[in-house]
Structure 1
Amino acid sequence: MEPYELITLLGPTASGKTPFAAALAARLDTEIISADSRQIYRSMDIGTGKDLADYVVNGKQIPYHLIDIHPPGYKYNLFEYQHDFFAAYQDIKSRGKLPVLCGGTGMYIEAVLKGYKLLDVPQNPPLRESLKQKSLEELEVILASYKVLHNKTDVDSAQRAIRAIEIEEYYRTKAPDVNEYDPLHSLIIGVDIDRELRRKKITRRLHARLEEGMVEEVKSILETGVQPEDLIYYGLEYKYLTQYIIGELTYDDMVSQLEIAIHQFAKRQMTWFRGMERRGHTIHWIDATLPTEDKIEITIKLLNNTY
């Protein structure tokens, strides 16, 4: 069997991917490429769970890529991610290292593993106008009507749903061939966390982040001139905290609705990963509760085809 070109660590939110990836990268003397659709934004730190301290292992800074590369308010997309990923990937490979891809945005991960040829989809003003009065639930129904589905794991705001529909409508008539980039032969490790443990960690982490100043973080971004609708676009923490700050939600309603939304998001992530398996990806699931050293040893054995 040909050697692996990449190690991919994936899993739902709160599964402990980042410290595992950093420890593995330290052991292998390599670098990490993020596959998180929100961590690419600067200043959006607490809400996206960057936890940059996790990238320091035994006093050594583990190099990471595709974090903090655009300002808040920017509308990043899959087309850009794929090109940014391969630039980082080739950079790491040029130094003789085996890159580690780590994150929970399934569409980003699958796009680079399969090397999809993607199109830079322009805005469609007439389509946006026809959709702007529809609710998120109505937009999700429309999105589900397309045979080729956009990544729904991140679609939890009307703006994002409209953009997803816009993409699918464009691809309906201009669908590209696959493989602009070559597919990558990757060892894929999934961090398997029990549903109830995941729920407990999500709840505990949400309250910890609120205590760390997540509300103040969102306020400070808004004070720089970023429009509320542009933060709401990002969904989850930035959607609900912005709605609280501008007076659309009470604090208690914000916390309650956000907690439910994060649980739903984690469930959608797992649905995507299971779909990846059905689409031919082999994911080796490792128990999230194992000690980090055990996870690393299992990964290295899989890497060497001895597990």
Structure 2
Amino acid sequence: MSASVSSTATGRKPRLLVLLGPTAVGKTALSLLLARQFNCEIISGDSMQVYRGMDIGTAKVLPEEQQRIPHHMIDIRNPDEPFSAADFQSMAKACIQDIHERGKLPFVVGGTGLYIESLCFDYQFSEGASDEAFREEQRLFALEHGPEALLDKLRAVDPITASRLHVNDQRRIVRALEVYHLSGISMSEHQHRQKKDSPYEYCMVGLTMDRDLLYKRIEARVDIMLQDGLVEEVQGLLDQGYSRDLVSMQGLGYKEIAAALTGEMPMDTAVSLLKQGTRRFAKRQLSWFRHMKEIEWVDVTEHANLLAHLNTISGIITRKFPNDESNRG
């Protein structure tokens, strides 16, 4: 019997492995090697990979790699279907239970801090409280004054949450303003007050690297996405009738390329904005992760030395999950 099954059967918390870090840091390559070594199934912790037909711009694991290592929480929504952190938490918890019941170790890999933190620490979401009139007021304000002005409103009452959100993520900006409007307490303070007791025995590893190198890797990744057909992917989504106003279509890569395809700007300008936006996104990811004291960080600046990084992470996992040899493939 594997350790993951026995831990549940004996009343111990189920084990959960987590690998996180900013975009382009190298999570995918290491996750596939670790999954084979520790007999894992991977749960995507990325808020954009849930959408079908959005493959290149979200850097999804290739289908052949998904066949070798089972992946979950990928391609579960159409681009025009809503998906929230609460949805992710509920579905990912079910995945974890199912993976354990089959004697494997669940392995969350991704870069969406709220999704991962809400899962690991069982955040309680208050989805019911809402004020539709207030939401509409904020949408009209953004139309009149621009998205930056709307984000400035959030900065005034909740600078921490504002620093983590993209200026074009109007839905989450409005929601954060709504939380403060309804409760008088900022969303970041709500999250800070959440109990840090986890339903899991977790091992959380974070990847980091020299900032200049990370930015070069981001720019190279964007170039590869373009070579792999990102423009054609976005055009296909537009041809299917998916609106540029959808939350999914506001994602990095989709928003910029769609603007070029519809004549708002030259393609080279869109690519430049995409690279700049992705660098800023990575900075926001790192800002989020830095407040998560549970992470054990591994510097992968020497990214060519994959084996050394693999050995370092393996050592962290075996220390956190002792006597777990039966989980190894």
The answer to whether the superposition gives a TM-score over 0.5 is: yes
Structure 1 position 123, deviation (Å): 6.0
Match status 1:84 vs 2:98: no
CA contact (8 A) 1:34 1:102 kept: yes
- Equivalent residue in structure 1 for 2:43, among 33, 50, 71: 33
Cα displacement string for residues 191-214 of structure 1 (whole angstroms, at most 9, x for unaligned residues): 112111111111111111112211
User: Equivalent residue for 1:265?
Assistant: 281
Please, which moves more after superposition, 155-164 or 36-45? 155-164
* Partner Cα distance (2:197, 2:72) in 1: 19
TM-score of the pair, normalised by structure 1 = 0.87
List alignment gaps of at least 5 residues for structure 1.
none
Structure 1 position 178, deviation (Å): 4.4
Secondary structure, aligned partner of 2:245: helix
User: Equivalent residue for 2:6?
Assistant: none
* Partner Cα distance (1:167, 1:217) in 2: 35
For this pair of structures, how many residues does the alignment match? 300
Secondary structure, aligned partner of 1:31: strand
The 1:148–1:265 alpha-carbon spacing in structure 2 relative to 1, beyond 3 Å, is closer
Please, which moves more after superposition, 130-139 or 140-149? 140-149
CA contact (8 A) 1:106 1:273 kept: yes
Secondary structure, aligned partner of 2:77: coil
TM-score of the pair, normalised by structure 2 = 0.81
* Partner Cα distance (1:216, 1:152) in 2: 32
Please, which moves more after superposition, 171-180 or 91-100? 171-180
The 5 A counterparts of 1:79-228 are 79-121=86-128, 124-132=131-139, 133-134=141-142, 135-147=146-158, 150=161, 153-160=164-171, 161-170=173-182, 172=184, 178=194, 182-228=198-244
* Partner Cα distance (1:114, 1:69) in 2: 23
Q: Percent identity?
A: 33
List alignment gaps of at least 5 residues for structure 2.
1-11, 323-329
Cα displacement string for residues 265-293 of structure 1 (whole angstroms, at most 9, x for unaligned residues): 0011111111212xxx2423242526333
* Partner Cα distance (1:231, 1:215) in 2: 18
User: Equivalent residue for 2:310?
Assistant: 296
Please tell me the residue identity of whatever aligns with 1:275: H
* Partner Cα distance (2:159, 2:215) in 1: 30
Structure 1 position 152, deviation (Å): 5.4
Match status 1:285 vs 2:298: yes
Please tell me the residue identity of whatever aligns with 2:178: E
The 1:225–1:274 alpha-carbon spacing in structure 2 relative to 1, beyond 3 Å, is same
Please tell me the residue identity of whatever aligns with 1:187: C
Match status 1:305 vs 2:319: yes
User: Greater Rg, structure 1 or structure 2?
Assistant: 2
User: Equivalent residue for 1:75?
Assistant: 82
The 1:101–1:172 alpha-carbon spacing in structure 2 relative to 1, beyond 3 Å, is farther
CA contact (8 A) 1:106 1:272 kept: yes
* Partner Cα distance (2:197, 2:249) in 1: 29
Match status 1:66 vs 2:73: yes
The 1:153–1:239 alpha-carbon spacing in structure 2 relative to 1, beyond 3 Å, is farther
Q: CA RMSD in A?
A: 2.9
Please, which moves more after superposition, 117-126 or 5-14? 117-126
- Equivalent residue in structure 1 for 2:259, among 243, 248, 253: 243
Structure 1 position 124, deviation (Å): 3.8
CA contact (8 A) 1:93 1:99 kept: yes
